Amino acid sequence: MINLVELMLEDGLLKKEDIAKLVRMRPPKKASLENIINEKILDESKVEKFLAKKIRQGALTLAEAETIEGIDMHPIFRTVASALNIPYLDMDEVEIDMHLFSKVPYQQLTRHNVLPIEETDLNILVAFQDPLDMAAQDAIQRLFPRKPISVALASPKKISTHLQRLEITQSIKGLIDEIRKDLREGEMRRMTRSLLQS
């Protein structure tokens, strides 16, 4: 897990005196992000700007940032997406095109933690956990050779959660299809037997 306090100390956003102030309190407080914000050593907007800057600089990945407790990551992700001039997708509010999802090998999606969202006449919108990962973009573009992909940023945790749900849905559909096929074959065998016996 990323130590945000150390990052802020290295960057000069926090000073050692700020941490000492927390430790000297009665009762002593841990130098956590929550305590730093609650004790008004830093306000939440400064922390958000700092995190967005570190993500843009590549010093912090979205997945690492998402492990930081005590701060809402949505505004930070929106800031990063805006700086990269790409859309931010809140995966809880997005409807995924299941037909598009079924065209792509699941292993490729999980390897790069990406999720195809929708297909338009012009492109295919794909949510990436790391929109700066050019190797992932190239790999996903190869899966859709007829249309360019359009990169969007989304929460790494939420992409993973959606991928797991979609895999379960696809597995259930596959099982249902197999059961239907078995039932049809069984019915055909019964009909054949009954015709032969007549």
- Given a cut of 70, whether residue 198 has pLDDT beyond it is no
Q: What is the pLDDT of residues 21-32, one digit of tens each?
A: 888 887 878 877
First CA to last CA across the chain, in angstroms? 73
Q: What is the pLDDT of residues 146-165, one digit of tens each?
A: 999 999 999 999 998 888 88
* Mean pLDDT score, 56-67: 84
Please state the domain extents for the chain: 4-84, 88-197
Of 19-28, 32-41, 132-141, 186-195, the poorest mean pLDDT is in 186-195
Angle, alpha carbons 11-152-55 (nearest 5°): 5
Instruction: List phi, psi (to 5°) of 139.
Output: -60, -45
Domain 88-197 fold: GMP Synthetase; Chain A, domain 3 (3.30.300)
Helix (H, G, I), strand (E, B) or coil at 67: coil
Indicate the Cα dihedral angle 137, 170, 61, 76, nearest 10°.
100
Q: Partners of 152 in the beta sheet?
A: 127
Q: Partners of 126 in the beta sheet?
A: 116, 151
Q: How many CB atoms lie within 10 A of CB 158?
A: 18
* Mean pLDDT score, 73-87: 90
Of 24-28, 44-48, 107-111, the poorest mean pLDDT is in 24-28
Closest CA to 154 of 123, 100, 117: 117
